Amino acid sequence: MVGRANRPPTLTSTPGLPPTASVTFSDDHSLVSAVLPTGESVSVLLHGATVLSWKDASGTEKLWLSTASALDGTKPVRGGIPLVFPFFGPPPPGLSLPQHGFARSARWEFLGKSTSESAGGVGVVDLSAKLDFGLSSAGLDAATREAWPFAFNLIYTVTLDRGSLTTSLVVSNDDEARPFDCQVLMHTYLRVADIAQTEITGLDGASYVDKVDGAATKTQSAAVTIAGETDRVYTPMASGAQVAVVEGGKKTFSVARDNLANVVVWNPWADKAKGMADFEPKDGYKNMLCVEPGAVSGWQTLEPGDAFEGAQTITYYS
């Protein structure tokens, strides 16, 4: 556990060797942070295993986080990278659980940390820090276990590299006899300078479900632009195709998916943002764009002993 006695507070470098990443914990052990020697950083809240912050070497924040987000575990975080499991959106009929499931609301366990360095060429060192988090059925409260009575295990890994952030989730069915169906999504809130000057490429020709237009099925033509409330579930034509965020004609992010067939694009726009108590500032929709890799257009059926793994890698461009 994070709070056990004598746990070293940081990873430090060995005298005579190149510096490595440092990993630290907040005083109340609710937050784990990693910082590379070159200055890049990431912070993960154990509540929901939610990535709250991801900064480049200059300290520029890459994720959007509402200033009204609850960080004390009382409700899911609005912003960063919340995790969606075991379903996306409202619960299926007869299932008494909150929207988007329980993963983003549960307290996760910090499982460990590791750092690495490798030669990336003459005078270049590639650095990374990996943080592992876990959640199992045994860690849920009684009401949640009663509502979703399957034995499962989740391993979530957040890997910070000099120019990218990778998040991966492994879902295992630990039930001895019963299969279960699930959905997975990484609800990434990217920070952008001006949503009116932002577009998403890589989805041209993809079919999508437009949740703002009665769940109508449509086909994307050209780049995606945001000019009002947007809530779409895309299925790109190529499962491994990269999606890019372009601001003012310049690519600022790319999002690569591994075994995640869908990309959700979301922005609440002005009217919906006003009605969301935890969305602040109210004009924050101008500076955020959700590009969310997931497996949500259908269900992943896991037989006893089976596992599902999906990942995203977000790369930023200066």
Q: List the binding residues for substrate.
A: 78, 99, 104
Tell me, yes or no, if 309 is annotated catalytic: no
Tell me which of 47, 187, 199, 309 is the catalytic residue.
187
Alpha-carbon gap, residue 262 to 296, rounded angstroms: 7
Tell me, yes or no, if 292 is annotated catalytic: yes
CB-CB contact of 189 with 79 (8 Å): yes
Q: Helix or strand or coil: residue 309?
A: strand
* Residue 17 CB neighbours (<10 A): 8
Tell me which of 199, 292, 303, 309 is the catalytic residue.
292
Query: How far is CA 291 from each of CA 191, 294, 304, rounded to the nearest angstrom?
Result: 11, 10, 32
In the numeric block, the tokens 């009663």 are attached to 146
CB-CB contact of 271 with 208 (8 Å): no
Nearest to 306 by CA among 150, 135, 175: 175
Alpha-carbon gap, residue 286 to 205, rounded angstroms: 26
Alpha-carbon gap, residue 202 to 222, rounded angstroms: 9
Which residues are catalytically annotated? 187, 292
